[in-house]
């Protein structure tokens, strides 16, 4: 799936963390990667090919986001076809724009 540069900028605006590290999720672990997240990694993440995470505190110990764990009824989740990465991305992008 081709993600536009504008969408990538919006994603990175919402999800900003430590500037010099991000995390790669392996089968049963997270591993730090000592670099800023690049377009290559962001594309892989947004296309569902790999899972990456951010360290929420910047080098200056600031935090730019918060996360809530919301329980969604299974019947609602089953009604969403997230097998297609584009459908998932478009759905989540729509939800993010409502927050802005």
Per-residue pLDDT of the chain (100 residues; tens, 9 = 90+): 788 888 888 888 888 899 999 999 998 999 999 999 888 899 899 888 999 999 999 999 999 988 777 677 778 777 777 777 778 778 877 877 776 6
Its pTM stands at 0.63
DSSP E strands in the chain: the ranges are 22-25, 30-33, 52-53
- At residue 62, the pLDDT reads 95
Q: Are 18 and 64 in contact (CB under 8 A)?
A: no
Measured CA to CA, the distance from residue 32 to residue 29 in angstroms comes to 10
Residue 74 structural domain:
5-99
- At residue 100, the pLDDT reads 60
- At residue 93, the pLDDT reads 79
Question: How far out from the chain centre does Cα 73 lie?
Answer: 22
Number of domain units in the chain:
1
- At residue 17, the pLDDT reads 92
């Amino acid at each position: 799936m081709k993600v536009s540069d504008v969408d990538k900028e919006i994603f990175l605006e919402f999800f900003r963390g430590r500037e010099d590290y991000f995390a790669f999720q392996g089968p049963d672990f997270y591993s730090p990667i000592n670099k800023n997240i690049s377009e290559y990694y962001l594309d892989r993440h947004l296309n569902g090919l790999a899972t990456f995470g951010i360290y929420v505190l910047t080098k200056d110990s600031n935090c730019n986001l918060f996360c809530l764990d919301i329980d969604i009824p299974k019947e609602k989740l089953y009604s969403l076809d997230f097998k297609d990465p584009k459908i998932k991305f478009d759905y989540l992008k729509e939800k993010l724009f409502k927050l802005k």
